[in-house]
């Protein structure tokens, strides 16, 4: 059973930075795609950023130019560098991994952007 383990959330002031990490544990196969999603209170979960293979990246319009997704395929680990954070970035952030028709979600990590 594959487990997605997130870390790196916390409280940060507006304009600050955080880096989230997500490791896929329990598989020796390389994940075909990985992505970050978030869910704010009272809102639906939304895609933040995704990476297919090692280089095909895509971002939600709201985070373009501020967030950077990357991965270490050898370790099945993914990162989300978040800069210039805004209060509207406050949410629970989830990572997702995909191999073929199977996908797995992490438990979520809370990010709070507040002064």
Q: Which parts of the chain sit beneath pLDDT 50?
A: none
Tokens encoding 70: 């990357």
CA distance 68 to 78: 11
Percent of the chain with pLDDT over 70: 100
Q: Which residue is it, tokens 């996908």?
A: 103
Residue 28 confidence (pLDDT): 85
């Amino acid at each position: 059973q594959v487990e997605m383990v997130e870390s790196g959330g916390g409280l940060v002031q507006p304009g600050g930075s955080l880096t989230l990490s997500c490791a896929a544990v329990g598989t020796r196969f390389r994940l075909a795609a990985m992505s970050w999603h978030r869910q704010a209170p009272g809102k639906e979960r939304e895609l933040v950023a995704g990476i297919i293979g090692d280089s095909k990246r895509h971002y939600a319009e709201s985070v373009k130019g501020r967030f950077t997704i990357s991965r270490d395929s050898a370790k099945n680990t993914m990162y989300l560098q978040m800069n210039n954070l805004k209060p509207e970035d406050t949410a629970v952030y989830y990572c997702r991994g995909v191999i073929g028709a199977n996908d797995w979600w992490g438990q979520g990590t809370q990010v709070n952007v507040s002064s």
